[in-house]
Amino acid sequence: MVKGFFGSAVMAEIKYKDRYDLGLIYSEANATVAANFTTNVFKAAPVTDAIEIIKNNKHIKAILVNSGNANACTGLIGLKNVAKCREAVAKNFSIDSSEVLMSSTGVIGAHLPVEKIVNKIPELKERLSPAGLFDVAKAIMTTDTFAKTAQKKFAINGNEVTVFGIAKGAGMIAPKLSSPHATMLAFIMTDANIEQVFLQNIVNILCNKTFNKITVDGDTSTNDSVIVLANGIAANSLITNKENGKEFIEALDAVMKELSYKIVKDGEGATKFINIKIKGMNTPDNAAIIARTIAESPLVKTAIFGEDPNWGRILAAAGRAGVNFNPDKVNVFFDDVMMVKDGMGIIENEEKAKDVMKNKEYSITVAFDEGAASCKFYTCDYSFDYIKINADYRS
C-alpha cells in the first residue's frame, strides 16, 4: 500500500443492496492535491464543489465517495447535500470541511440520501486501514465487473516512493478532462514529497495521455474526476521539475495507464480490448481526432465484436473524422497483419486478420503519410450485453 493513506468502505444502501457503495480515503498528513474534472456543461454537484475547494485549498485530508447516485442535475440542493456530507466527515475527524472532497457516481438526477451517508461516517472512520483502500475500489463500482487498482514503487535517493491508484468505469466513458476542472473516477495516492503546481502540471499532461485517450461509448460523463493526493511521507527531496521528478512521472504515468487499460477492459459488455494506434499524422490533435472517431464508430465496434476484419468501416470512420489526408496513402494493420495498403484492401490477408481478431486483445494501426504525429487510444467492442446493460439498467 502507500504510506500514510487509509481507506474503508461500508454498505449504505444508497441504491445497491448487499455491496459496498460508500468509501472513504483518509490521509494522516496533509496531502497536496491536484485534479482534473469533466468538461461537460452539466457538472455534477460534487464536481462543482471540488473545483471550488481546490481553487482555494491545495491540501486536503479526506475524500468521501459514493456509488449509486451521481448527484448530477440536482441544482442547489445537490450542492448543499455535498456540503452536509463534507461537514459530517470533518466533524468526525476534527478537521476543517475544506479539507474534505466528495465524489459521486451513479444515477443522474436523484437527490443524495444524505442521512444514510452521514450515519455511516463513524463506521467508515472505525474501519480505516491501509488495505481498506481496496474496499474503496469496490465501493465506487457501478456496472464495473472488477475493482481496478494499480501500483508502482521506485526510490529517490534511497527513499522508497509509492504511487497507488484506484478507478472505476464502465459506462458513460469518454473522459475529456480538463484542469482545474470523467463517470470515470480515479483516485491516486502517493507518499511522494512533491510541489503542488508541478504536480498539477504533470497530472494535466498525463491525464491527456491516458484517461483522455480511452472510450467505451463516447458519452462523456457529468462526474468524471481524477484526484491525485501526495502526502510527502516518503520524505524524498522535494520534486519540483521534470529532472528530479523523472521517476515519479514514469510511475504516475504507469499507474494512470494501467487504470485506463482496466477501465476499457471492463467497459460495459466488452468482450475485446483494442489499442487503436494512429501513425504518420500531421498533428497530435488530428491523430487523436481520427483515433477517437474510429474508437467510437458503432460499425467498427460491432465488427470487432463480430470478429470481422471489416477494414472498410475503419477507413470510412477515419474519412469522416473531419481531418483531411491523402486517402491513397493509408495502411491498416491488425496487430502485424497488413490489411490495407495505400487505401486498398489486401484480400489475401483477410484470414490472418480474422485470426488476430479472435484474440481478446489486439491493436489496430492506421498509418497515414501526413507527418510524424501519432496517438494511442484504448477502446472496446459493442456486444449484445452492451445493449442489455444499458436498456435494462438505469446507470
- Residue type (1 letter), 273: F
* Eight-class DSSP state of 53: H
**Residues 211 to 240: which contact a second copy by CB under 8 A?**
217-222
Establish if 72 lies at the interface with a second copy (CB under 8 A).
yes
Residue 301 beta carbon to a second copy: minimum distance, rounded to whole angstroms = 9
Are residues 276 and 377 in contact, defined by beta-carbon separation less than 8 angstroms?
yes
Among 75, 158, 243, 348, binds a second copy (CB under 8 A): 75
Active site (catalytic) residues:
183
* Eight-class DSSP state of 239: B
Which grid coordinates belong to 342? 495505400
Where does this chain touch a second copy (CB under 8 A) — which range of 91-99, 230-238, 279-287, 344-352?
A: 344-352
Are residues 206 and 18 in contact, defined by beta-carbon separation less than 8 angstroms?
no
Residue 166 beta carbon to a second copy: minimum distance, rounded to whole angstroms = 23
Residues 11-50, one symbol each (x = binds a second copy by CB under 8 A, - = not), give ----------------------------xxxxx-------
Establish if 114 lies at the interface with a second copy (CB under 8 A).
no
Q: Which is nearer to a second copy, 122 or 327 (CB)?
A: 327
In b/e form, how buried is each residue of 116-148, taking b as 16+ CB within 10 angstroms?
Answer: ebbebbeebbebbeeebbebbbbbbbbbbeebb
Among 108, 121, 194, 259, binds a second copy (CB under 8 A): 108
Helix or strand (DSSP H, E) at 42: none
Establish if 105 lies at the interface with a second copy (CB under 8 A).
no
Among 323, 357, 367, 380, binds a second copy (CB under 8 A): 323
Among 25, 137, 202, 318, binds a second copy (CB under 8 A): 318
Helix or strand (DSSP H, E) at 195: none
Residue 307 beta carbon to a second copy: minimum distance, rounded to whole angstroms = 8
In b/e form, how buried is each residue of 23-34, taking b as 16+ CB within 10 angstroms?
Answer: bbbbbeebbbbb
Question: What are the phi and psi torsion angles at 251 (to 5°)?
Answer: -70, -45
Q: Where are the beta strands (DSSP E) in 169-320?
A: 177-178, 185-190, 225-230, 273-281
Q: Which is nearer to a second copy, 153 or 320 (CB)?
A: 320
181/48 Cα distance (integer angstroms): 8
Among 113, 180, 284, 319, binds a second copy (CB under 8 A): 319
Establish if 289 lies at the interface with a second copy (CB under 8 A).
no
Sign of CA pseudo-dihedral 228, 232, 238, 243: negative
37/226 Cα distance (integer angstroms): 6
Establish if 327 lies at the interface with a second copy (CB under 8 A).
yes
Question: What are the phi and psi torsion angles at 384 (to 5°)?
Answer: -60, -35
Residues 186-215, one symbol each (x = binds a second copy by CB under 8 A, - = not), give ------------------------------
Residues that bind a second copy (CB under 8 A): 39-43, 70, 72-75, 107-110, 171-172, 174, 176, 217-222, 296-299, 302-303, 305-306, 308, 310-313, 315-320, 323-325, 327-328, 340, 342-345, 347, 382-384, 386-388, 390-392, 394-395
